[in-house]
Structure 1
């Protein structure tokens, strides 16, 4: 019998606690409560991963729906909890959505929130930098190459 097929009873917690904890450590232990409720115990990092994947998948879907509307304009009100993205235009938001999707797939595949955390940190950092008018002008400066001249090496 596979460990995922094994269902412990509440009375097993006293007699088979080591087996129950081993099953929980290796991915999940199922427990049937006296009232028939099925409970699962798993490592906290797995629960955290599942919660983050659920949250950001939902955010991704919502953003994709917003971006699909032809009249969409990024404002604090229509971005809601994504208001930190307000400094970006629609093209940037599409790029964010694509990168978020890749990060979600990688996080699920790697069984780690690291790819998702890295993606979000990079976009949040960029958004914070763009909030400052001086930094924004430097980052988005459209200086053309002819404005630059070659400098001679000092002697």
Structure 2
């Protein structure tokens, strides 16, 4: 990414990586999981060499390497990334997260930004079956993402 150093600095300034769960953020991911009827819902923050999950529903892992991260691709987009079937997407078909646990099939990730406008990570919903996402689905992700940004950007320590 052309502004990777600034993006990482904005993430670091939040002083949020490796912190305890947040009940407000967990409530938002639970709402998203319920709305999308998805297997997994995450708030993923993309650090230099990993993605770390500030909030997670139905996933035991607290992080994954950045090089297998769907969210790394998402933060390179303008606003969001939608993958209806990861097995048919050349970027992800060979991913260990598609070929093995958690067997990602569909993914939708809305970019979460810092107050400076840098991409911190995503709110993402993950299905274990292919799924299309409507414009209404995108709008719901956008609104939930705005709520998450308010919480993240107001937690500066």
Settle same-fold status: TM greater than 0.5. no
Question: Higher helix proportion, which one?
Answer: 1
The higher-RCO structure (CA 8 Å, 6+ apart) is: 2
